[in-house]
Structure formats: C-alpha cells, structure tokens
Chains A and B, each alone.
Chain A
Amino acid sequence: MSGLFRKSIRTRLTLLYVSLLTAALLLYGAGTSAFFLRNLREQVDETLSQDVETVETLLSVGPDGRVRVQAQDTDEDEGGRLLEVWSQDGSLLYRSPELWGRILGAAPDGHEGIQGARLADGTRVRIVNRMHRIGTRPVVVRLAVSEERLWQEFWEMVSVLSIGLPVAVALVGLTGYAVARRALRPLESMARRAEQITAERLSERLNIENPGDELGHLGRVINETLARLERSFEQLRRFTADASHELRTPLTAIRSVGEVALQRSGDVNYYRDIVGSMLEEVNRLTRLVDSLLTMSRADAGRIPLQRAEVPVLDLAKESAGLLEVLAEEKNQKLTVEGDPMVAVRGDRVILRQALVNLIDNAVKYSPSRGNIFVRVGSNDGDAVVEVQDSGPGIPPEHRSKVFERFYRLDKARSREDGGTGLGLSIAEWAVGAHGGRIELDCGTEPGCIFRIRLPKFTTEENTIPPEQSRKT
C-alpha cells in the first residue's frame, strides 16, 4: 500500500481511474448479463407454456387404459420434449422416451406453474406443471425443456463482454496516463528549475506559464518564498560582513598594540599600560559578542518575557535616573515628564533596556548644554514614550537605516564612545517583542524624537464597574 503512495502522481491518478472504470464496467456488465438471462428465461417459459398446451391436445387414453401421446411431426422437437403425465393420486402415467428413464422430480403436489430444476445428470431444465383432463380423468401434465441453449447464449454474451472490458480499461488507462503526464509537465519543469536555484542563485525565479491556474498559483507562492529567502540571505550576508568588520577592529588593535610593544622595550609601567590597552579592546570584544548573542537569541525567539504590569513613567524615570550622570557631565538637562497612570504589560528588564538605549543615544548625540526630554503619554489606545534629543538630527536618507544592526551615522565617533552599533537594534527588538514599535520623527528643527508605542495595559481598577468600585 505504501509502495503505491510513493509512486508518481500520474501513476497514482491513472491507477485510480482505471480501477474506478473497471468497477463501473463490472457493475454494468453484471447488470446487463442478469437482465439478458432473465429475458432468455422468459422466452423459454413462454415457449414452454405454448408447448404444454399443444401437448395437452395430443394426449389420449389408449384402449389399454394407458396414456399415449399422438405422434406429431413437429420440427421444434429436435431438442426432445421431456414429458411426464401423472395421475392425481401421484402415480406415473406416462414418461417420454427422451428422458431415458430420468425423472423430472418427485410426484407433483398439485401446484401449477413454471420452475427451474436440475436433472439427476446435472442438466438444467425449465419445468411446467399443468392440471389437465384426459376425457374425464384429471391428470398432471409436466413438460420440461433443457436450458442448455439458453446458458450457451448467456455465456457467449458474457465472454464477449469480458473480452471487451480489459481492452476498454487498457485504452482508457493509457490515454489517462498520457493526459496526466501532459497536465503535470509544467510542474516537472518548475521542479527542475527550482532544483537549480541554490543559495548563490537566489535571484532567479520560476517561469509561470499560466498565472491563473493551480500550477501558476503554486509557482507564484514559490517565487514569493524565494524572494523572502533572498532578502533574508542578503540581510544575513550584510550582517555577517558587518559583524566580522566590528570584530576585526578590536582584534587589529590588540594585535598591533601587542606587536609594537614587543618590538620596543620599556619599563613596567609601559607594559602595564600596553596590557591594559589590550584588555580594553578585549572588553569591547566581549561586549560585542554578548550583544550579538542577545540578538541571535532574540531572533530565535529564545528570550522569554516575564510579563507584569509596568508603570511607564516610573520606568522612564528609573532609566533616566541611571543615565542622569552622563547628561550632567555634558551639562545637559534631562527632563522626564508625563502621565503617571499609563502602564503596559511587559518584561520590565527588557523594556528598560530599550529605554536606556534610546536615552543613552539622546545623551550621546545632544550637544553640551542641550536638552533631552522623555515624555510619557497615551495616544490611540497606545502607551507612548517619546525621547527627544537636541542633536544635529538624522539626514532623511539615513532615517530608515538607524535601526539596522551596526548602522552608524558617524562611524568613527560612536565607536570611540564604546558603542557597539547594536543599541537601537536591541531597542527595536525589545519593543517589537512586546507588540509595539519605535517611530522616528525628525522635523525641520534640530533634534529627533524616537517614539515608542506599546499596547496600553488597562489596570483592573479601570475595568471594575463604577458601582462596585464605589462600595470598596
């Protein structure tokens, strides 16, 4: 059975309709044969009824009191008419010589009618029983005729049918196979083409002959999948290239600092300084690897969120409080304000990471004595946190890319600050994982607003009907 399912679709299709056709033809043949057989029998029976009437006229009682049948040169007698005449009390009065002593069954029980029977030697016969009077004497006339010819005709017909059936099935099977093959040919060519599309040739697409039909639909779906695959491969390629660049930078520093130090000679403090400088780069590498790991685990969906109700203003104040000293060092004013009632449901640690990264970014890019605003509010049922800096702004062509991994506006500067180039990507992931998004809003005036939108959490207090809350 399982072997059948492993065969090709066209073989399976052909097998399927060949077997359906066979079953239908068999049913049809059986029905026809049965009908034919019944017709033949009816004919025999009709002849038999006529014959028995003829025979009755020929019966007479001889002078010796025995029943005789007047000889009559009938042509139809070749098959031999089998005749018995019984008395009412069950004694045999006459038996035709053609019977050769065979009997047509037991003494009649007084019923008239036609029945089928088998003689002792196996010959099938049709028998008619009729009440009759010879003169005044009641007798039972029993006339039989062999069914041999009937069966012969029947089997002839059956054999004609059974020769025709396999021929018809074979014809339909072959035609069906050819049709299925033709119908599936575009599928085969699509498969061959898809086989040739590898990671290196993802830009290629399947040819679609008829976009409207089922195969065209399949082709479109495959092409869309290929497009998505191509995009993610492209992202991966860029990410790998960027990541190796980022990793190579500190590695190069470690290497050259070490090599130069070994060529020179210096005192203990010199070497301490060298080792320290190398360790700084190691720290940078470690941080980078940690961030990459976080991102890859986030991509794989392996960072479980521990959700709880988080008051947003609280979280914003906490995040800003952590970074306040950085702003103070640059004489910046970091202001947190907004609606204390706004809350979201989420993982506090992860959400805070997003906010810390955004605020850190704002501190970094705002000038000395600049202003940074963190505003909490709600809008269209969303909880909103805005982080507004007073930096130089982001040129329009860069705006869509700032959330990309390792994307930097000013490459040299942000690496100097110890950034990994992943801060905004991580923030975007953190907000996205909570079903929210970050919008970038840069107006004409300097500075940009990073706006976090998160689904607002409705506290139970708000959902309790007024009457109930009044009671408490």
Chain B
Amino acid sequence: MRILVVEDEPKVAKALQEGLEAENYEVTLAQTGEDGFFLASSQAFDLIVLDWMLPGRDGLEVLSTLRKRGMQTPVLVLTAKDAIEERVSGLDAGADDYLVKPFAFPELTARVRALLRRGKAEAAPSQRIDGLEMDLVARTVTRDGHRIDLTTREFELLEFLLRNKGRVVSREMLARDVWKESERATPIDNVIDVHVARLRRKIDDQFERKLVHTVRGVGFTVREAED
C-alpha cells in the first residue's frame, strides 16, 4: 500500500513516515503543496495524508484541484484548525476524513486503515485471542472455557480493543468510538481508565498470561503476552 504524505514540518513528516512504515506501508514524502500536487498527479497512491497549512500552495487548494481533475484517491487532511465551519469547508474540497493536530498516532493509523478498507466491510461474528473468545452475536465472553460476565460498556470496550488487537488504542479513540463523546473533556479519560481497570480485573486477574496492557502516555493494547 502506497501512501503520500504532504507535510512541511520536517519532524512531523519524519515521524509520520517512520510510523506508517512500521505499519508496513510504503511512504513517499512531499514538503510543499507543489511537490505534493506533482507527485499526486504523476503517480498512483492508495492514500494521501495532506497537511492543511502548507507553504506556497495551501493543502485544500491542492486537494480541490486534484479532485477537479478526477482523482479518486482517499485523502486524510491534517489540520491545526478545529473550528467546525473549517471542517465543513474541508469536506467541500473533497477530504474523506480529518485529524486535528496534535493527534495521537494510533488515531492516525486507525483512520488510515479505515480509509484504506473503505467499502470492504469486515463483519467478523467473533474475535479470539489466546484462549479468550468473544461471540459478538450471542454477546458472550469466555476465557479458557470460563464464562466472563461483562457490562455492556465493558463488552463494547473489549470488542473495540480486540478489533484493534496488536495495535495501541488511544483514549481519544475510545472516547469517540466506544463512549460516543464528541467533546474530549477531562472526566472522560478518568472514566475510561476505570473501565479498563475493571475489564482487566475480569479477564486478566485470574490468569497467568495477561492480555490487556497499558502503553504509558499513549493508551491501551490487547495482545498475546510475550513469555
């Protein structure tokens, strides 16, 4: 999968490149709007990550020109502006999704994955990892055959973590996708922490191998324990 990253700030650009390459994407960098426009119109990419504020040619300008020329590639716009009306003008220009700077990296990779698999819905009826089995239809959870009772919220939390197993999930993602909170107010983060702690108590405490891990400063992840 080839991704074009148009970002003028070198540190951010480098971090994006390394982070996306670590997820096994092939990344091409462009530092200016002109370069980005040239690369996007001369080569084929599966996704473009486009910064809004660029020197020379503004990101949205580049985007709307590309869209007028019939480019279909999904575009994820990065912006420091978060006013609602600006988001709307971004959508008009043809952006498929947004991310407000500063963003959490897991959030970026999640959006990238979502855009890349757009249209290819995956409706897995069950999730499993290392003896933990989650039946999404019957809404039951078992670990090593023992049934575990979860509240609705805990179930949704575990489902989200399992769908992203092996990857780090940030509190922002949990707030938005599990709690459906549009505003990221402080109390939500505490609420999330408490729920994760409870979930961990139920599915990990009695077992030798731990599944839910905290990644300090970033968020949580579910992965098989490395023995």
Residues of chain A whose beta carbon lies under 8 Å from any beta carbon of chain B:
272-273, 275-280, 282-283, 286-287, 290, 293, 297, 302, 304, 322-323, 325-326, 328-329, 349, 353, 356-357, 360, 417-420, 423, 426
- Report the minimum CB–CB distance from A300 to chain B (whole Å): 10
11 pairs, A vs B, C-beta closer than 8 Å: A279-B218, A283-B217, A322-B191, A323-B187, A325-B194, A325-B198, A328-B194, A349-B183, A360-B187, A417-B190, A420-B186
B interface, CB within 8 angstroms of A: 82-84, 102, 171, 179, 182-191, 194-195, 198, 215-218
Contact B216 A280 (CB under 8 A): yes
Residues of A within 8 A of B190 (CB): 326, 360, 417-418
Contact between A326 and B191, CB atoms less than 8 A apart: yes
- Assess A357 versus B185: contact at CB under 8 Å? Given A293-B82, A326-B190: yes
In the assembled complex, the CB of B84 is this many whole angstroms from the nearest CB of chain A, namely 8
Q: A419 to B185, alpha carbons, bound, how many Å?
A: 10
In Å, the complex CA distance between A54 and B36 comes to 119
The answer to whether A282 and B102 touch across the interface, beta carbons within 8 angstroms, is: yes
Task: Report yes or no: A279 in contact with B217, Cβ–Cβ below 8 A.
Answer: yes
CB contacts (< 8 Å) of A275 on chain B: these are 216-217
Known: A353-B183, A357-B187, A423-B186. 5 other contacts (CB 8 A): A276-B217, A280-B217, A293-B82, A297-B83, A356-B187
Determine the distance from Cα of A426 to Cα of B84 in the docked complex, in whole angstroms.
Answer: 19
Collect the chain B residues with CB atoms within 8 Å of residue A419's CB: 186
CB of A353, distance to nearest CB on chain B (Å): 6
CB neighbours of B82 from chain A (8 A): 293
Write the chain A residue with the least CB distance to B197. Answer: A329
In the bound complex, residues from chain B placing their C-beta under 8 Å from that of A302 are: 83
Residues of A within 8 A of B198 (CB): 325
What 9 A-B pairs are tightest by C-beta distance, nearest first?
A279-B217, A276-B216, A276-B217, A360-B187, A325-B194, A280-B217, A286-B102, A329-B194, A356-B187
User: If the complex has contacts A322-B179, A325-B194, are A353 and B185 also in contact, measured as CB distance less than 8 A?
Assistant: yes
Q: A272-B216, A276-B217, A277-B216 are in contact. Are A326 and B194 (CB under 8 A)?
A: yes
* Chain B CB within 10 Å, residue with most, of A278, A279, A419: A279
| Residue from the set A273, A286, A302 with the largest chain B CB neighbour count within 10 Å | A286
Q: Once the chains bind, are B217 and A277 in contact (CB under 8 Å)?
A: yes
Among residues of B, the one whose C-beta sits closest to the C-beta of A293 is B82
Chain A residue at minimal CB-CB distance from B195 = A325
Q: Which of B183, B187, B194 is packed against the most chain A CB atoms within 10 Å? A: B187
* B188 CB contacts on chain A under 8 angstroms: 322
Residue contact B218 to A276, C-beta cutoff 8 Å: yes
The complex places the Cα of A234 from the Cα of B198 at a distance, in Å, of 47
| Minimum C-beta distance from A145 to chain B (A) | 93
**Whole-angstrom distance between the alpha carbons of A297 and B85 in the complex?**
13
Tell me, in angstroms, the Cα distance from A89 to B84 when the chains sit together.
Answer: 108
**What is the CA–CA distance of A353 and B83 in the complex, to the nearest angstrom?**
18
Q: Of the candidates B184, B215, B218, which one forms a contact with A290 in the assembled complex, judged by CB atoms under 8 Å apart?
A: B184
Bound form: Cα–Cα A280–B218 in Å: 8
Give which listed residue, A277, A280, A326, contacts B187 with CB less than 8 A: A326
Q: B83 to chain A: which residues have CB within 8 Å?
A: 297, 302
Establish whether residues A276 and B215, one from each chain, have CB atoms under 8 Å apart when the complex forms.
Answer: yes
Closest approach, in angstroms, between the C-beta of A390 and any C-beta of chain B?
19
- Please give me the residue from chain B that is nearest to A303 by CB atom: B84
Q: Write the chain A residue with the least CB distance to B183.
A: A353
Docked CA distance A446–B185 (Å): 28
Q: Is the CB of A278 within 8 A of B217?
A: yes
Q: Which residues of A contact B187 (CB under 8 A)?
A: 322-323, 326, 356-357, 360
Q: A289's closest neighbor in chain B, by CB?
A: B102
Contact assessment for A287 and B217 in the assembled complex, using a CB-CB cutoff below 8 Å: no
Give the docked Cα–Cα distance between A283 and B190 (Å): 13
Give chain A nearest CB distance to B202 CB in angstroms: 14
Shortest distance from the beta carbon of A228 to any chain B beta carbon, whole Å: 28
- In the assembled complex, the CB of A321 is this many whole angstroms from the nearest CB of chain B, namely 10
Smallest beta-carbon distance A105→chain B, Å = 91
Q: Given contacts A282-B102, A297-B83, A325-B198, are A418 and B189 in contact (CB under 8 A)?
A: yes
Contacts of A356 in B (CB 8 A): 185, 187
Query: Cα distance A278–B217 when bound, in Å?
Result: 7
User: Of all chain A residues, which has the CB nearest B184?
Assistant: A290
Which residue in chain A gives the minimum CB-CB distance to B189?
A418
Kindly list chain B residues whose C-beta atoms are within 8 Å of the C-beta of A323: 187, 191
- Which residues from B are CB-within-8-Å of A420? 186
Report Cα–Cα, A150/B1, bound state, in Å: 115
CB distance from B170 to the nearest CB of A (A): 9
A12 → chain B closest CB, angstroms: 46
Q: For A352, give the chain B residue with the smallest CB separation.
A: B183
